[in-house]
Structure 1
Amino acid sequence: MSPDLQKNFFEKEMTFEIKSEFQNMFQEQARTERFETHRQIVESKLKKGELIRPHVLKMIGLFENMESLDAEYSNEMAIDIVLHSLHKGYDKFKMNCNMHSME
């Protein structure tokens, strides 16, 4: 094989290896971020005395982050998770939402 062909082959091979390495690195980073974001969603709880608006906005942001990581929740699932995160003072509200299939 001529030196030019060897150089061209080596550069293409290195480019493929580098791309593959970057892809693996970013996939692992995305997996870690998905795991952490999902953990935050599951552990989110509104405490008595806290305002509901900032809590819901925070959860919406977490759901949007999951969507950007290609792991989105359906709207129905997201609503169920948000309702579940509310404290017992919102039980009548939750029951009302479920009875009337509110979105």
Structure 2
Amino acid sequence: MFVVKQPLPAAPAADSAGNVLAEWNAIYDAYNEVACLILGSMTPELHRQFENSSPYEMINKLKAMFEKQARVERFDLIQTFHACKQEEGKPVVAYVIQMKGYVDQLERLGYMLPQDLIVGLILNGLTKDFARFMRNYNMHNMGKTIGELHAMLIEYEKGLPKKAKTPQVMMIKGGKIQKAKKKSLKAKGKGKANGKRNDKQVYISKPKNPKPSAKEHPAKDDTCHHCKEVGH
């Protein structure tokens, strides 16, 4: 595999020895092959920008363009890694795998963390359920790898007392029931004002012999059955 570490040497004179010309031609072909590989892996925009550049120029310009971006990405990733904590109720296996993923990403960016620091950060992010495990680990100064620590945490988690999974759900259901009761009470008490019911039924007693209207009352000359009874 050919590695470009310097610009392409100047071409030798035409009358140079055959072995000198052959050596330069081999280097020239290798540089062209590297240039084709770099251009072939670029986006169309970058390809147009670098199509007339030598492979050595391409490498230096690309480093200048993306090195700062890689530093920013690495800094953000380190912050995320240090702030990562195990979520309450989540299995420890998911948390350790997440932390291991951050370590792998940092290594790809060229940032290698000491093994004891990685293990310390993983332990620091565990929930209070693992407090006893952490005390024992630190007391015995166990120098474990991430994989060994992972297995130990899984085994320890199996011995933890099981937590009830439904209290919160029952509380929510209870809340709904209470709300429903309030609604029913409100519906029953509809029409109340100032704490007093206003839906009383008013009964009006009708006279046994109501007085007839003017239209129903006959003339004074005529005999009125009603007048006779009430003494008109």
Bin of the TM-score, shorter chain as denominator length: 0.7 to 0.9
Deviation at 1:17, TM superposition (A): 4.8
1:24 aligns with one of 41, 64, 81: 64
Superposed CA offset, 1:22-68 (max 9, x none): 11122112112211211110110112211110110110111111111
Deviation at 1:19, TM superposition (A): 3.2
What's 2:90 paired with?
50
What's 2:123 paired with?
83
1:68 and 1:18 map into 2 onto residues whose CA distance is 22
2:128 and 2:65 map into 1 onto residues whose CA distance is 43
1:37 and 1:57 map into 2 onto residues whose CA distance is 15
In the alignment, residue 53 of structure 1 is paired with which amino acid? V
2:102 aligns with one of 49, 52, 62: 62
What TM-score does the superposition give when structure 1 sets the normalisation length? 0.78
1:89 and 1:29 map into 2 onto residues whose CA distance is 39
Larger Rg computed on CA atoms: 2
Q: Which structure carries more relative contact order (alpha carbon 8 Å, separation 6+)?
A: 1
Deviation at 1:70, TM superposition (A): 1.3
1:74 aligns with one of 100, 114, 117: 114
What SS does the aligned partner of 2:126 have? coil
**Is 1:64–1:72's contact at 8 Å kept on the other side of the alignment?**
no
2:64 and 2:132 map into 1 onto residues whose CA distance is 47
2:135 and 2:64 map into 1 onto residues whose CA distance is 45
What's 2:80 paired with?
40
Instruction: Find runs of 4+ consecutive structure 1 residues off by over 6 angstroms.
Output: none
What value does the CA root-mean-square deviation take over the aligned residues? 1.7
Deviation at 1:21, TM superposition (A): 2.1
What SS does the aligned partner of 1:49 have? coil
| Structure 2: runs of 5+ lacking an equivalent | 1-52, 145-232
**Is 1:46–1:52's contact at 8 Å kept on the other side of the alignment?**
yes
Superposed CA offset, 1:1-29 (max 9, x none): xxxxxxxxxxxxx5455432211122112
Question: Alignment length, in residue pairs?
Answer: 91
What's 2:224 paired with?
none
For residues 4-15 of structure 1, the aligned pairs below 5 Å read 15=54
